[in-house]
Chain A
């Protein structure tokens, strides 16, 4: 399942990129996360609590930061499991200058396995957007930036989300999104 969005951030691209590339900073910035354990400059693990309509699903996830292009791009991959659930995600973040701040274009590819998949197919885009927004807001705050200069985050549950992993989305969703 893919989701994407774009958001303005009131800090310079270099500062923002550093925040997004730093496992320690990411671990602190991610919402609904605890037990963060930074392994090295590229890897960290954390317990993530996904809130869905049927409660909170805790997942222990391993994250890897890679594909760093200074000031421009970073890739964060994560995978984890909790009980009968499993999640695999890839987040690509592209940073560009916009005025005195930055614009971040992000794409997330999230694969949910297990019972969470039923609900996840509808809530994951929103969850992904929430996580990214929270990380960017935390990065702003950490860098001493103000409010976002331009919030162009798309409503990912609508036109900005692709549910291409739903076997037969038209049939299944029945217009109920």
Chain B
């Protein structure tokens, strides 16, 4: 079990690898953070969105006149106006999905409950809300479709007539030779259906923004908690005709994002338009019920007709299946999810033969966004469920089955069937550690005792092995749409030696709690020989003052590689400039100069030293001394880290889709009450491997967060819709977001396998691969195995488990022996 001690005393050891206290906490723990709702702009008006109560309806008419006559109302905005002022957003999908017309407000039709159909700006937030009630909207309700599989049927109601069906994207991924594998396997396990449910992230802070369209300069100033402004800019700019340099995004502290704040660009667009109309800044803070119904949800996915060829020795050869991914009503980030799962096509296993017929459908539900572990956790859960069901049906020990099929330490770098490269890892060791943490043998004895003593409690032991692929190759977008001009990845950073010798860092990323200020300070401190406390990492992100590239943002487990990679590059450039200036000042060769303690000096000659303030003085205020050298150094060093990617082969759907692969092995012991189905987690262990560990305490926090998120989804959190497209639990009364009170004590341990591909040996982490979903399903299944049903869903409430305990004769899994 790991032991984390916060280190504060300076040592000669590198700062990277130490649990340096978080720089962010100094303000956050004192209530001095600046979140979007804290932003106030002169003459601002408050915006409220009027939303569709229908899951699917034609908008016959909208009359805003009563609202506009209300004293204190500044402006209204309707879909009809939007259609005149905004071009439809760029679509990632090719036709037919790419033909979809998406606007910031509903135009012509409302396609999900909660879709904004009009906006009101008023003097106060409550006045805007009251005024919205005076907007008369006449709807013609239409039949809804909420089943992501049935949505593909041609006779179901069509959401977007311009597409002609609800199928947004379809493609077949075929690696190895699944027909051969099924023909030659000793056994074929068939599973009818597995289902990954819809849930969300429930960040502490809902979406919020203050947007001001300056009519004089044409600058649209956007204070928001959008977590990927450059992605937003690529949608907003062309849609509303504003060049990217005039889209000024600003954020400081963000109360959690988890991916679902990437697609808030539709709201930012609406706020920009109503700001322009009203001639005032537009402020909007989302209510929780709005967030639950109409921000973004995680993708729901159904796996059908699963066939798994298995050899007698337990070698799993691969699988064939159909996947139906329910994107909701619009393709706000989709269909990227239709390829991103392929980063982990074989999961942590040496599966060789894989065939996936993948379909993305549109339904009358909230559009999906890239929720933590986006698209990979669905697939990773599928694989883990398959492994457990293979073990169950063919009577393999689930531990030994995993050991046999894991990618082995000596296999790295391991090339998957679709040419992704797993960089490093040690899954068997992680499994050993996880099992040791829960005292696996003792738990098995306890399980046996419980079975034999007539207890009404059942013990189940579960294992979940997942990957957290990080640093996307955006070239994979071409696999879903060969026409997209995207490939590679990158991130920018700027490191500066300021007037009085201070070192400041500006990042291209948009942190939402990931401790970027701290870990960037540690990284830069090591390169410049400083204490992290003396490295000033500017909080938040501002597109005027921060550097960025098109991929900038905080998403997809990549900061440790891309963000810090950029900081390393910029700091190294600055170090070289400091050395050059110092060499002139100290009349030495550059190679003789060493840096440390806020000064540059001649190695071996402590008398010949110049502090950083002296270096800064020479460049900024005393440059005649430097002569021509002053033209070549600026002490302002920008660096763009670019991972070594190539463009994937769109025909074969092969290529290196991700740079690093962190891994997780979780294990748990649950106790199930036979009478109620209640699941109690008795023991939970999370073993993490994320390459070189920059700040163990920060990693521990991420592991805890991802584990809580996964446990919540497995046991408590699910978004349910009625057949007519009504969200049935869009509030915290009915949607139980996990809290500390629900959490078991988490035992943690780690394995460190530095990545050979990243600039610092680190791997992106934090999404966590959804390991708790796999682990809890595995444990529940293990408890049921004395007789009972088959766990085929990610989400299992007490009632579900109660029913599974009583399921008899239900055979969603069949085995064919050869």
- Measuring CB to CB, which residues of chain A are less than 8 angstroms from any residue of chain B? 53-54, 58, 81-86, 112-115, 117-119, 121, 165-168, 170-172, 174-175
Question: B727 — which chain A residues lie within 8 A by C-beta?
Answer: 115, 117-118
Within 8 Å of chain A (Cβ to Cβ): is B462?
A: no
Which one of A54, A171, A175 contacts B733 once the chains associate, using CB atoms below 8 Å?
A54
In the complex formed, the residue of A with least CB distance to B793 is A171
Instruction: List 22 A-B pairs, Cβ < 8 Å.
Output: A54-B733, A81-B53, A84-B53, A84-B114, A85-B53, A86-B54, A113-B113, A114-B52, A115-B727, A115-B730, A117-B727, A117-B728, A118-B729, A118-B730, A118-B733, A119-B731, A119-B733, A166-B728, A171-B720, A171-B797, A171-B800, A174-B799
CB–CB A54/B722 < 8 A? no
In the complex formed, the residue of B with least CB distance to A168 is B720
**Which residues of chain B (696-747) have a CB below 8 Å from chain A?**
720-724, 726-731, 733-734
In the complex formed, the residue of A with least CB distance to B735 is A118
Complex: A145 Cα to B773 Cα, angstroms: 62
Complex: A165 Cα to B722 Cα, angstroms: 7
Within 8 Å of chain A (Cβ to Cβ): is B51?
A: yes
Question: A166 — which chain B residues lie within 8 A by C-beta?
Answer: 722, 728
**Min distance, Cβ A78 to any Cβ of chain B, angstroms:** 15
Question: B6 — which chain A residues lie within 8 A by C-beta?
Answer: none
**Which residues of chain B (45-68) have a CB below 8 Å from chain A?**
50-54
In the complex formed, the residue of B with least CB distance to A84 is B51
Complex: A58 Cα to B129 Cα, angstroms: 12
In the complex formed, the residue of B with least CB distance to A112 is B726
- Residues 766-804 of B, flagged 1 when their CB comes within 8 A of A and 0 if not, give 000000000000000000000000000000011110000
Give 9 closest A-B pairs by Cβ, nearest first: A114-B53, A113-B53, A167-B722, A86-B53, A84-B51, A174-B799, A83-B133, A117-B726, A115-B289
**Min distance, Cβ B242 to any Cβ of chain A, angstroms:** 29
**Min distance, Cβ A37 to any Cβ of chain B, angstroms:** 16
Complex: A84 Cα to B724 Cα, angstroms: 16
**Min distance, Cβ B4 to any Cβ of chain A, angstroms:** 37
Which one of A58, A118, A167, A175 contacts B734 once the chains associate, using CB atoms below 8 Å?
A118
CB–CB B723/A171 < 8 A? no
Complex: A93 Cα to B721 Cα, angstroms: 31
Complex: A117 Cα to B800 Cα, angstroms: 23
**Min distance, Cβ B732 to any Cβ of chain A, angstroms:** 10
CB–CB B114/A118 < 8 A? no
Question: B797 — which chain A residues lie within 8 A by C-beta?
Answer: 171, 174
CB–CB A115/B722 < 8 A? no
Question: A58 — which chain B residues lie within 8 A by C-beta?
Answer: 133
CB–CB B50/A83 < 8 A? yes
Which one of A115, A168, A172 contacts B293 once the chains associate, using CB atoms below 8 Å?
A115
CB–CB B728/A114 < 8 A? no
Whether A84 contacts B50 in the complex (CB less than 8 A), given A58-B133, A167-B723, comes out as: yes
Interface size class of B (residues with CB under 8 A): 20 to 34
**Which residues of chain B (276-310) have a CB below 8 Å from chain A?**
289, 293
CB–CB A172/B728 < 8 A? yes
CB–CB A83/B129 < 8 A? yes
CB–CB B728/A167 < 8 A? yes
In the complex formed, the residue of A with least CB distance to B116 is A84
CB–CB B129/A53 < 8 A? no
In the complex formed, the residue of B with least CB distance to A59 is B133
In the complex formed, the residue of B with least CB distance to A121 is B728
Which one of B51, B721, B799 contacts A175 once the chains associate, using CB atoms below 8 Å?
B799
Within 8 Å of chain A (Cβ to Cβ): is B420?
A: no
Whether A53 contacts B720 in the complex (CB less than 8 A), given A83-B50, A174-B799, comes out as: no
Question: B720 — which chain A residues lie within 8 A by C-beta?
Answer: 167-168, 171-172
**Min distance, Cβ A124 to any Cβ of chain B, angstroms:** 13
**Which residues of chain B (109-154) have a CB below 8 Å from chain A?**
113-114, 129, 132-133, 137, 146
In the complex formed, the residue of B with least CB distance to A87 is B53
CB–CB A113/B729 < 8 A? no
Complex: A170 Cα to B723 Cα, angstroms: 15
Question: A82 — which chain B residues lie within 8 A by C-beta?
Answer: 133
**Min distance, Cβ B676 to any Cβ of chain A, angstroms:** 9
CB–CB B132/A83 < 8 A? yes
Report which residue of B113, B728, B730, B731 has the largest number of chain A beta carbons within 10 angstroms of its beta carbon: B728
**Min distance, Cβ A161 to any Cβ of chain B, angstroms:** 16
Complex: A112 Cα to B729 Cα, angstroms: 13
CB–CB A117/B133 < 8 A? no
Complex: A171 Cα to B137 Cα, angstroms: 34
In the complex formed, the residue of A with least CB distance to B720 is A172
**Min distance, Cβ B659 to any Cβ of chain A, angstroms:** 40
Which one of A53, A83, A114 contacts B113 once the chains associate, using CB atoms below 8 Å?
A114
CB–CB A113/B726 < 8 A? yes
Question: B52 — which chain A residues lie within 8 A by C-beta?
Answer: 84, 114
In the complex formed, the residue of A with least CB distance to B803 is A170
Report which residue of B53, B146, B733 has the largest number of chain A beta carbons within 10 angstroms of its beta carbon: B53
Question: A174 — which chain B residues lie within 8 A by C-beta?
Answer: 797-799
CB–CB B129/A117 < 8 A? no
Report which residue of B133, B727, B800 has the largest number of chain A beta carbons within 10 angstroms of its beta carbon: B133
In the complex formed, the residue of B with least CB distance to A165 is B722
**Min distance, Cβ A111 to any Cβ of chain B, angstroms:** 8
**Min distance, Cβ A102 to any Cβ of chain B, angstroms:** 36
In the complex formed, the residue of B with least CB distance to A113 is B53
**Min distance, Cβ B236 to any Cβ of chain A, angstroms:** 25
In the complex formed, the residue of A with least CB distance to B49 is A84
Question: A84 — which chain B residues lie within 8 A by C-beta?
Answer: 50-53, 114
Question: B728 — which chain A residues lie within 8 A by C-beta?
Answer: 117-118, 121, 166-167, 172
**Min distance, Cβ A74 to any Cβ of chain B, angstroms:** 26
Contacts beyond the supplied A113-B54, A166-B722: 11 A-B pairs with Cβ under 8 Å: A53-B733, A83-B50, A84-B50, A113-B53, A113-B726, A118-B289, A118-B734, A166-B728, A170-B799, A171-B800, A172-B728
Question: A85 — which chain B residues lie within 8 A by C-beta?
Answer: 53
Complex: A176 Cα to B53 Cα, angstroms: 25
Question: A115 — which chain B residues lie within 8 A by C-beta?
Answer: 114, 289, 293, 727, 730-731
Question: B798 — which chain A residues lie within 8 A by C-beta?
Answer: 174-175
Question: A171 — which chain B residues lie within 8 A by C-beta?
Answer: 720, 797, 799-800
In the complex formed, the residue of A with least CB distance to B133 is A83
Complex: A174 Cα to B50 Cα, angstroms: 32
Question: A86 — which chain B residues lie within 8 A by C-beta?
Answer: 53-54
Report which residue of A54, A118, A168 has the largest number of chain B beta carbons within 10 angstroms of its beta carbon: A118
Question: B731 — which chain A residues lie within 8 A by C-beta?
Answer: 54, 115, 118-119
Complex: A112 Cα to B723 Cα, angstroms: 13
In the complex formed, the residue of B with least CB distance to A172 is B720
**Min distance, Cβ B59 to any Cβ of chain A, angstroms:** 13
**Min distance, Cβ A83 to any Cβ of chain B, angstroms:** 4
Question: A118 — which chain B residues lie within 8 A by C-beta?
Answer: 289, 727-731, 733-734
Question: A113 — which chain B residues lie within 8 A by C-beta?
Answer: 53-54, 113, 726
In the complex formed, the residue of B with least CB distance to A85 is B53
In the complex formed, the residue of A with least CB distance to B130 is A83
Question: B730 — which chain A residues lie within 8 A by C-beta?
Answer: 115, 117-118
Question: B289 — which chain A residues lie within 8 A by C-beta?
Answer: 54, 115, 118
Question: A168 — which chain B residues lie within 8 A by C-beta?
Answer: 720
Question: A170 — which chain B residues lie within 8 A by C-beta?
Answer: 799
Question: B54 — which chain A residues lie within 8 A by C-beta?
Answer: 86, 113
Report which residue of A58, A114, A121, A171 has the largest number of chain B beta carbons within 10 angstroms of its beta carbon: A114
Question: B113 — which chain A residues lie within 8 A by C-beta?
Answer: 113-114, 117
CB–CB B721/A119 < 8 A? no
